[in-house]
Chains A and B, each alone.
Chain A
């Protein structure tokens, strides 16, 4: 860079000097600072446009943020409700019962109450507990061949069956929208299944004790 050249240019300097002569004579008027201070006070008294604009942007931002928040909460709740039947199927019946009551209050689900008797019939037919199948007995025999046959295995087997049946029922319930009457029926079926399971457990235990 030719810095030295820039520092010469005497003619140019003289031209600028001559040109700025008038400007160099200028001095501020006597009331210059008074006027300035008055303007400063006036600007402080009146709300500044920049600040006003800032407030406007801040309020727009706040409204937008609250809308986004509401939408996200709404979406989250909708997801939760749609997942509830599946959750009901995964949890045990006693805990699931109150949740099912909240679901049934939805207007969409109320509209589907006509389907309930059919569904119940189908469920009762499908999940009527059969007699203890032979393979359970066979299982007991296998267990018996072991050195220490425990009645605990039989209980486990009964529980497993019970759980599977409960899950199947819950899935069915989840698939069809549950309402209040359906819930009551569901509870009675569950009780029945439980009692059958207990009976089956007793039978298994009896069979084991007989063979002993």
Chain B
């Protein structure tokens, strides 16, 4: 654990030094910095934009945007990786909204959310049977793109809520309540899909 912390600090120092040199005019060094995070950014973008070519283009947009905003990066506020993912998150959402002609999302009314007990939602989302998992995948597709991204950052990347707050520009309290809301919404969609299957 201590070794990890030391390595992380060294990486951060190295990155800060690299960024300073890039800002001093050694532009070519950005190749090195971009190369470190290109895969991570591409994969995050690809979760929202399935086309590999399109995802790569959006990743390039994000990295170019990061280069142009490099002078504004503050190492005290967040790591370079978090800062870069924040840019990628917003670039991907923007691209998705501009290019997706129809976003098939389900609007769930608050009264429905209140109608489903917490225990029932917990049981549904904790179920690992193949059928339920498949239904959950379909249900995730019907969420809004930013909600999908939020689920991925929290459940798939196992990022801290603090990090997610930095990436998504929301405060932590909002993110907790939003995650709860998304869970309940998922549970309702799953139940609806199940009842449709029964018919």
Contacts and interface: CB of A to CB of B under 8 A. Distances in A.
Interface of A, secondary structure class, is: helix
Interface stretch (A26-34, A111-119, A154-162): A26-34
Given A6-B179, A36-B64, A16 B59 contact: no
Interface of B, secondary structure class, is: helix
Contacts of B68: 43, 48
Nearest to A37: B31
Interface in B52-87: 52, 55-56, 59-60, 63-64, 67-68
B19 interface: no
Contacts of B126: 8-12
A16 B31 contact: no
Contacts of B88: none
Interface stretch (B94-102, B109-117, B130-138): B130-138
Contacts of B30: 37, 40
Contacts of B128: 10-11, 14
B47 A32 contact: no
A2 B180 contact: yes
A46 interface: no
Contact of A22 (B46, B59, B179): B46
Contacts of B67: 40
A94 interface: no
B42 A19 contact: no
A28 B56 contact: yes
B28 A37 contact: yes
A3 interface: yes
B56 A32 contact: yes
B64 A6 contact: no
B137 A15 contact: yes
Contacts of A10: 126, 128
Interface string B23-56: 0000110110011001100110011001010011
A33 B64 contact: no
B131 to A, nearest CB: 10
B27 A12 contact: no
Nearest to B49: A23
Contacts of B60: 32, 35-36, 39
A35 B57 CA distance: 10
B155 A13 contact: yes
Contact of A44 (B27, B38, B177, B179): B27
B64 A26 contact: no
A28 B180 contact: no
Interface of B: 27-28, 30-31, 34-35, 38-39, 42-43, 46-47, 50, 52, 55-56, 59-60, 63-64, 67-68, 118, 122, 124-129, 132-134, 136-137, 140, 151-152, 154-156, 173, 176-177, 179-180, 183, 186
6 contacts: A3-B176, A19-B140, A36-B34, A36-B63, A39-B60, A43-B68
Given A6-B154, A23-B55, 9 more contacts: A1-B176, A9-B125, A11-B125, A15-B136, A26-B42, A33-B38, A36-B31, A37-B30, A39-B60
